[in-house]
Amino acid sequence: MHDVPDNFDINLTEISKIEGSASLEVKIRNKKIEDLKFSISEWKRFYTQAIQGKPAVAVPQLVARICGTCSNAHLLCSIKTVEKALGIIPSSQTMLLRRLIYNGLIIRDHALHLYIFALPDLYNKNSILDFDENDPLQKQLLEDTFEIKEVGNRLSKIVGGRSVHAPYPTIGGFLAYPHIQELKNLRDTLIAVRPKIFRLIEIFAKSSFSLSLPNIIFNGLSSQDYSFLTGQLVSSQGNILPEERMSEHVEAVVIPYSHARGFTYKGSTMMVGALARINLYKKSLHAKTKADTKMYLDLFPSYNLFHNNLAQALEILHVIDTSSEIIDGISTVTNEERIPVHPKQSVGVGVIEAPRGTLYHKYEIDDKGIVQKGEII
C-alpha cells in the first residue's frame, strides 16, 4: 500500500483520451475531496453568430464544422431544422439513407471512445499503443479496434460521400446516391463484425469500475425504433415533450472556471448520452440486439456512470443490426429529385441524439430564406 497524505492537490492542465480540451483541479483535505473543478478549455467559436445572414440552405455544411468526428450529427440536425422551418417532408428513401449515414457515425464514434480512450484503463495501460501483441486477447482487441472503426467509416462514406463532413446529404434529399451493390457488399461485413462487438460488450459488462449518482435525471430523444434522428423528448421523471419545447425545460448555467456552459433540467442535474438512452428506452432496441444481449440489458436502468461504456457497446450492436435490416430491405436506390426549397419567414427546431447526447438546433429564417438568428445546444 502507498502512504497517501491527508492533504494534497491534483492539477492536470491537459487531459488525454478525451475528445476536446479540458483541465482538472482536485483539492484533497483530510483524505476527502473538498473541491473539484473540471474545466472545458476550448474557446467559443461563435458559430451561431457566423450563420446570421447566411442562406438557410448553406447552413448545414457550415455548422458541420463545429465538430470533426461528429460532423454528420450537426449536418443532419441542421438539415432537419431547415426542413421543418420550410415545411419540407423528406421521402422515406431519404430518411433511410440518412439513418445509414448516422449509424456509421455511431459505430465509428463509439468505437473511437471505447477502444482507444476507455479500454486501456481496463488493462492498466496508458494507451492502446501499449497493448501486448503477444497476448492473444489484447492482440485481438487491437485488430477489432480498426476493423470496427473501418466498418463505420465505410457505411458513412458509401451513403454520404465521406465518413466526416458528408457532402451528399442536403435539404430535401441527396446530391448523389450510393450504388446498391456497395451497400449489399457492406451488409456481409456488418454481420461479420457482430462477434467482435459481443467481445467488447462482455469486457465492459465485467468491468469493476463504479461511480453511482442516484439523484441524476436522464434525458433523451425516444423513438419506437431507437433511430437517434426522430422522436419525443423523455426524462426519467416521466415527462414527455415535443422536441420544439426542449429549450423551455433546460436552463443554461454559467460555470465561472470553464469556457463551456452547463445545462440543468428544471433546476436539477441531468445526464444525456448512451447511458441515458439505454436507461430510458432499451425496449426500442432492435429485436435481434435485445434477444442476444438480454443478460446485459438486465443491468439497466443503471446509475453507475461507467455503464455508459457498456451502453455505447450495446448501441454499436443495435446500429449494426438495424443497418443490416435496412440494407436487406432496399432492392434499389432511386435517384430522386430533391424537394424544391421555397423560402418563407419561419422558425425551425431540430433535435437528434448525437453520440454523446441530445443536440438541439433552432433557426429563425426570413422570407428570403436568410437565417436571422440561430441557437445551438
Annotated binding site for Ni(2+): 67, 70
Strand partners, 331: none
Task: Summarize the annotated binding site for Fe cation as residue ranges.
Answer: 70
Sequence-distant (≥ 6) Cβ neighbours of residue 357 within 8 angstroms: 272, 273, 276
CB 174 within 8 A of CB 338: yes
Task: Summarize the annotated binding site for Mg(2+) as residue ranges.
Answer: 376
Task: Summarize the annotated binding site as residue ranges.
Answer: 67, 70, 376
Alpha helical stretches, state H, the chain: 47-50, 59-63, 71-86, 92-111, 119-122, 136-160, 180-192, 194-205, 246-249, 274-281, 287-292, 294-297, 307-329
67 residue type, one letter: C
Q: In degrees rounded to 5, what are phi and psi of residue 18?
A: -135, 160
Q: Omega into 136 within 30° of 0, i.e. cis? A: no
CB 59 within 8 A of CB 371: yes
Strand partners, 248: none
CB 81 within 8 A of CB 348: yes
- Helix then strand then coil, in percent of the chain rounded to 5, is 45, 20, 35
Rounded to whole angstroms, the Cα distance separating 333 from 93 reads 8
Q: How far is CA 355 from CA 108, 131, 155, 237, 325, in A?
A: 10, 26, 16, 22, 21
Q: Nearest 5°: CA angle at 46, between 43 and 52? A: 175
Taking residue 62's Cβ as centre, other Cβ atoms within 10 Å add up to 17
